[in-house]
């Protein structure tokens, strides 16, 4: 699969699996530490529901305003273009709109199934389909446990065509002291797959210390 190494925008999809905090942290770190990058953001209705349940963030699915978006992400969002998941006529629904690729974090099993089987009925699913057909980088962060044969088959199908699967399965070899350390390790592994090297957590190297990201927690202001 071709990875267009450029400063074209990255598409970020947030779907309704547990762990929307990974997406918010990913965006916050990228906005703070990669000023040259722009983002096309789509948040599914289910993701907004999960944000409400898990993080107490309450946003109407039909009107995510700029202010609300800044509250969700906890950073300046001038370089983030927000799309409605129902707008299948958006720029990113077409392969002629060039992007660096797409990351879906977290990726629900429902979205995984839609993407693995070519259903492009929402903008997230269509944009993922376009990303694959154009041979651009697609990174999925699936989250479910336990996994059924259907989930595994869908993942295998996507892995076979070069989609990067980065399950939200945090490791503990960096000896996390707090939940933010676990999230940052996961986010760094996602960034690695996007080809964006940021050292926001401790990598496995004996005797090496982590150089902390300048992006500090907490990540939201509501
Ligand atoms: C609080 C909450 C947590 C959920 N966690 C998961 C999960 O971890 N993995 C998953 O595949 N679905 C999970 N779901 C179910 C999805 O949100 C549901 O299948 C939804 O239709 C996914 O839609 P989307 O892919 O368009 O976002 C969860 C739902 C809720 C309300």
Handedness of CA 115, 119, 124, 128 (dihedral sign): positive
How far is the C-alpha of 25 from the C-alpha of 11, rounded, in Å?
Answer: 15
Burial bucket for residue 120 (CB in 10 Å: 0-12, 13-18, 19+): middle
pLDDT at 52: 92
How far is the C-alpha of 120 from the C-alpha of 93, rounded, in Å?
Answer: 9
Residues 105, 12 contacting (CB under 8 angstroms)? yes
Atom of ligand 1 nearest to the CA of 108: 11
Residue 113 Cβ contacting ligand 1 at under 6 Å: no
pLDDT at 197: 94
* Rg of the chain taking only CA atoms, in angstroms: 16
How far is the C-alpha of 152 from the C-alpha of 154, rounded, in Å?
Answer: 5
CA of 167 to the centre of ligand 1 (A): 15
Residue 18 Cβ contacting ligand 1 at under 6 Å: yes
Low-confidence ranges of the chain (pLDDT < 50): 1-3, 221-222
Q: Is 210 helix (H, G, I), strand (E, B) or coil?
A: coil
pLDDT at 221: 46
CB atoms within 10 A of CB 85: 24
CA of 153 to the centre of ligand 1 (A): 19
Residues 129, 118 contacting (CB under 8 angstroms)? yes
pLDDT at 65: 78
What is the DSSP code (8-state) at residue 68? H
pLDDT at 73: 82
């Amino acid at each position: 699969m071709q990875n267009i190494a450029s400063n074209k925008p990255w598409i970020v999809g947030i779907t309704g699996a547990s762990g929307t905090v990974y997406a918010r942290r990913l965006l916050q770190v990228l906005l703070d530490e990669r000023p040259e990058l722009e983002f096309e953001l789509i948040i599914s209705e289910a993701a907004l529901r999960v944000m409400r349940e898990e993080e107490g963030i309450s946003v109407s699915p039909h009107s995510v305003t700029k202010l609300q978006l800044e509250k969700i992400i906890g950073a300046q969002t001038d370089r983030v273009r927000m799309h409605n998941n129902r707008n299948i006529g958006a720029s990113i629904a077409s392969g002629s709109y060039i992007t660096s690729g797409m990351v879906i974090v977290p990726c629900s099993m429902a979205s995984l199934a839609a993407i693995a089987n070519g259903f492009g009925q929402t903008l997230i699913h269509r944009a993922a389909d376009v990303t694959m057909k154009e041979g651009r980088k697609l990174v999925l962060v699936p989250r479910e446990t336990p996994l059924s044969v259907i989930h595994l088959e869908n993942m295998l199908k996507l892995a076979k065509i070069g989609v990067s699967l980065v399950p939200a399965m945090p490791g503990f070899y960096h000896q996390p002291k707090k939940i933010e350390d676990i999230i940052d390790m996961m986010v760094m592994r996602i960034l690695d797959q996007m080809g964006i090297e940021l050292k926001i957590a401790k990598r496995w190297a004996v005797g090496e210390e982590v150089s902390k990201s300048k992006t500090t927690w907490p990540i939201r202001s509501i």
